[in-house]
Amino acid sequence: MQATKCAGVGCKINEHVRCGISDDADAARLENARLRQVYRRGDRIFTQAEMASGLYCLQSGHVLLWYLDPFGHRTAFRVAGPGEIMGHRSLFGEDPHAATAEALTTCHICWYPKGLVDELIGTYPSFARRFLRTLARDRGPPDALLLRGLHMPIRVRLVYLLLILRERHGEIWRDGSLHLELPLLRRDIASLLGARPESVTRAIQDLKRDGVATFNGRHVVVSNLEALYNEANQEYDLGLPDSEEIAHSG
């Protein structure tokens, strides 16, 4: 394992190891210490309020991050995909996890123990710098404010979510239609959008009525992508949200 050769591998932490640790023995120690784990749909990878014990690198699959507020309300706020590192804020901040990570699909995850990560960060400045760069670039879910923007109708927020999920969950068929397999339950879609489930249901019905998108369980068909982009690009009144959404957001 050479420090100067960065290989594109499934585990991002492994890339940091290859680029930042010059001693082969130490690199091998970290590599041998990692646990490769498989999580099935619904399994919890880590839980809100428990102390961080290591770093998690998602090699394949998708993970839903959600938290419980003081009133016990569950709010989903992010879907993590392959290549993402999880738990680093809590680990380096020495704080309990602020959210729960739950597998949406079968996930292959590498776990690296805190003690060894701390030791190697203290020993290898280049390794530490790569992690600092990761932290600096990770500003949290960039789409969260967009999806929960109460100035936009729920229908538009739902369209944005479909466009965001297109990259990892969509396939363009020969006829030009977009087919999506949603990794989310209806309640989690509502949480991401900051809306009530019944409001999301109405938005889904409206999109179907207008020929924009058809939902059949988790399978979504967009027969006309141009219509979907037109929905996203429309200009809307940026006034106050309606009373229902104000009540829900509070």
**Token pair recorded at residue 184:** 């989310």
pLDDT given for residue 40 in this prediction? 93
Q: Which residues, including other chains, have CB under 8 Å from residue 63's CB and lie 6 or more apart?
A: 45, 79, 80, 86, 101, 102, 103, 104, 107
The CATH fold of domain 12-140: Jelly Rolls (2.60.120)
Which of the residue ranges 81-90, 164-173, 202-211 has the most confident prediction, judged by mean pLDDT? 202-211
- What is the Cα–Cα distance from 189 to 168, expressed in whole angstroms? 16
More confident residue, 133 or 99: 99
Q: Would you say residue 131 has pLDDT above 70?
A: yes
More confident residue, 167 or 180: 180
pLDDT given for residue 156 in this prediction? 87
Q: What is the dihedral of CA 79, 83, 86, 88, to 10 degrees?
A: -140
Spell out the domain ranges in the chain.
12-140, 145-249
Task: Work out the average pLDDT over 209-215.
Answer: 92
Task: Work out the average pLDDT over 71-80.
Answer: 78
Q: pLDDT grade, residue 15 (50/70/90)? A: low
The CATH fold of domain 145-249: Arc Repressor Mutant, subunit A (1.10.10)
Average pLDDT of the chain? 78
More confident residue, 142 or 23: 23
pLDDT given for residue 102 in this prediction? 92
**Token pair recorded at residue 3:** 């420090």
141, HSE (Cβ side, Cα atoms, 13 Å):
19
Q: Would you say residue 82 has pLDDT above 70?
A: yes
More confident residue, 183 or 177: 177
pLDDT given for residue 12 in this prediction? 62
Q: pLDDT grade, residue 248 (50/70/90)? A: very low
Q: pLDDT grade, residue 3 (50/70/90)? A: very low
Which conformational region is residue 101 in: left (phi greater than 0), alpha (psi within -120 to 50 degrees), or beta?
beta
Q: Would you say residue 49 has pLDDT above 80?
A: yes
